[in-house]
């Protein structure tokens, strides 16, 4: 058996149908066994935010801090994102933030848990949860943060460096854009760090301007 597909059945049978709240959807996700990632993670990390949000941000997967706290974008990348949102005048409590994958994938180096990129099959297995979030929130704008979310939402040809900030017609919302993940800013060296920060800030501002027009 291909190790990348071992134990992957997909989340579809765990996702409830019909009218329900985001809270009930998040609660149902705690029982998801659609791929093996739930075994190593501390808990599921579901999306968070307003049911009436016009803007949804979609990242790759929760990190170490998110896995411990059970909330998306509360670790170093989340703090970087919050700083940019503050600078651009975007109120986080008016957004909906989530990830393409709801469990933390990692390997251990001593006591540290180091992020591992989810496989294509793991992302696909988790897609029914994201589809249901999109259905319930119905955002006017969706921004994919990073390559993993971008390729899942816009197809395998999506490239952050080539397509960031462009309004894409094949996305899941009226306004669909991909950009860098805030973790790329943290990993970058000067002077690239400031250039990446300006890229993310500019792309988000363009989305807000389009929403306001």
Q: How many whole angstroms separate alpha carbon 159 and alpha carbon 193? A: 19
> In degrees rounded to 5, what are phi and psi of residue 85?
-60, -40
Task: For residue range 65-98, list pLDDT tens digits in order.
Answer: 999 999 999 999 999 999 999 999 999 999 999 9
Digit-coded pLDDT (tens) for 8-34: 899 999 999 998 999 999 999 999 999
Asked whether residue 109 carries a pLDDT value surpassing 90, the answer given is yes
- Phi, psi at 74, each rounded to 5°: -120, -5
| H-helix segments, the chain | 22-29, 37-40, 64-69, 76-88, 120-137, 147-154, 160-163, 182-187, 192-212
For tokens 């994958």, the residue is: 101
Rg (CA), the chain: 16
151-184 confidence digits (pLDDT tens): 999 999 999 999 999 999 999 999 999 999 999 9
What does pTM read for this prediction?
Answer: 0.96
Q: Helices in 70-188 by DSSP H: which ranges?
A: 76-88, 120-137, 147-154, 160-163, 182-187
Top pLDDT among 3 and 180 is at 180
User: Which CATH superfamily includes the segment(s) 12-212?
Assistant: Uracil-DNA glycosylase-like domain (3.40.470.10)
Examine the pLDDT at 107 and tell me if it is beyond 90. Answer: yes
Instruction: Compute the distance between CA of residue 14 and CA of residue 129 in angstroms, rounded to an integer.
Output: 9
CA distances 74 to 14, 44, 92, Å, are 26, 14, 12
Q: Which two tokens stand for residue 187?
A: 């990993």
Q: What is the largest distance, in Å, between two alpha-carbon atoms of the chain?
A: 52
46 three-state secondary structure: coil
Domain ranges of the chain: 12-212
């Amino acid at each position: 058996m291909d190790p990348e597909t071992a134990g992957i059945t997909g989340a579809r049978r765990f996702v409830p149908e019909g009218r329900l709240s985001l809270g009930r959807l998040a609660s149902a996700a705690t029982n998801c066994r659609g791929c093996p990632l739930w075994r190593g993670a501390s808990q599921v990390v579901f999306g968070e935010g307003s049911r009436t949000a016009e803007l949804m941000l979609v990242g790759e997967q929760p990190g170490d801090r998110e896995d411990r706290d059970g909330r998306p974008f509360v670790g170093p990348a989340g703090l970087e994102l919050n700083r940019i949102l503050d600078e651009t005048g975007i109120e986080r409590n008016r957004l909906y933030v989530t990830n393409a994958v709801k469990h933390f994938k990692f390997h251990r180096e001593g006591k540290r848990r180091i992020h591992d990129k989810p496989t294509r099959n793991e992302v696909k297995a988790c897609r029914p949860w994201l589809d249901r979030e999109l259905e319930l929130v119905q955002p006017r704008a969706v921004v994919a943060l990073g390559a993993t979310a971008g390729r899942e939402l816009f197809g395998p040809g999506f490239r952050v460096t080539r397509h960031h900030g462009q309004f894409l017609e094949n996305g899941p919302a009226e306004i669909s854009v991909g950009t860098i993940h805030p973790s790329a800013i943290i990993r970058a060296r000067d002077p690239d760090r400031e250039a990446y920060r300006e890229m993310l800030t500019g792309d988000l501002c363009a989305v807000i301007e389009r929403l306001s027009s």
